[in-house]
Amino acid sequence: MKQIYTGLLLAAALTLGACASHTAGISVSSLGETRVDNSSFARYIGVESVDARRVGDLVQGSALIVSKSSTDMRVQYKFTWYDASGYTIEDEATSWKSVKLHGKQQLQVAAVAPNAQAVKFDVYVRETFSN
């Protein structure tokens, strides 16, 4: 029985480990800093025109996700908000949103900060492997 339990744990760890390589993508900060964690993905998808504006006492962020591919792709994006000290704000409450980009399509995505302490953000884009 112990061997079966150990085998199941090992299988689960290997499965989760195999998925981990697919979480990398592209991130761009509201300060204009770009980080590419998956260069093959970055050949097909870009993030441009990252901008921020005030809506009342909250920051609204936007970005343009650009498909460089002639075929359809499904991607996910997520905004992560930071306070003036660089700490994340309510990151666990923010979920990935899935969108389908048609060949060469550009899609503007936007989000509003969860509270008035947010002063900057990162937008992350990664490939989705499910339909």
Share of the chain above pLDDT 70, in %: 81
pLDDT value of residue 5: 45
pLDDT value of residue 2: 52
Which pLDDT tens digit goes with each residue over 62-119? 999 999 999 999 999 999 999 999 999 987 778 899 999 999 999 999 999 999 999 9
For the chain, the 3-state helix, strand and coil shares in percent, each to the nearest 5, are: 20, 45, 35
**Residue 41 near residue 26 (C-beta atoms within 8 A):** yes
Closest to 64 (Cα-Cα) out of 77, 80, 53: 77
d(CA 63, CA 48): 6
Q: Does residue 16 have a pLDDT over 60?
A: no
pLDDT value of residue 24: 83
